Amino acid sequence: MKSERRKDILEKISLKNKAQSVKLRAALFEQQQQLEELHALIERVVELKDNTDGRSCDDPSELRAARWYALKLSEQLLVLENRVEFIEAEIEELRSKSKAQSFRNAKLEQLIDEAKSLIRSQKEQKLDKTQDFSRYAKP
């Protein structure tokens, strides 16, 4: 039957989409964890930078070393902030994909339900025809 084949195909597509949805959710969770770790690193770098600003240097080499250290901390902070921006963009993209996937899954479930009801009605019609025929065939 054509409608049964359609239902089977739709169910297989739905299973595939559900598996992709699980992968998307896992990727989203992983990105959110990385974002949290980056925020913790940013806090730590800012704390280190604040601790080095209050030191007084007696020797020019100490001043050079302190400035070099502050420069490296600033560079590291910039790198971390750029990574945060990138991960936030990735999270937004994953969320939009997940939303689209959910919409597709809902639409597929609706089509599967329609196909099932069509199959059910076809079977009922066939059963009604056989019952009508058997009623008239027996004297």
Q: For a pLDDT cut of 70, what percent of the chain falls above it?
A: 91
The pLDDT tens digits for 55-107 are: 677 788 887 888 888 899 999 999 999 999 999 999 999 999 999 999 989 99
The residue behind tokens 């809902």 is: 106
What is the distance between the alpha carbons of residues 128 and 136, in angstroms, rounded to a whole number?
Answer: 12
Q: How many Å apart are CA 130 and CA 36, to the nearest integer?
A: 66
Confidence check: pLDDT of 40 > 60: yes
What is the pLDDT of the chain when averaged over all its residues?
87
Residue with the bigger pLDDT between 1 and 14: it is: 14
Contact in structure between 105 and 15 (CB atoms under 8 Å) = no
- Report the CATH number that the domain containing residue 122 is assigned in CATH: 1.10.287
Let me know: does 111 contact 8? Beta carbons within 8 Å.
no
**What phi and psi values does residue 56 have, to the nearest 5 degrees?**
-100, 140
Q: Is residue 138 over pLDDT 60?
A: no
Domain around 111: 2-137
pLDDT at position 134: 66
Identify the DSSP state of 54. Answer: T
| pLDDT attached to residue 72 | 92
The DSSP 8-state label assigned to residue 55 in this structure reads: -
Number of domains in the chain: 1
Q: Does residue 27 have a pLDDT over 90?
A: yes
Looking from the CA of 30 toward its CB, the CA atoms found within 13 Å total 8
Number of other residues whose CB lies within 10 A of the CB of residue 77: 16
Residue 39 has phi, psi (to 5 degrees) of -65, -40
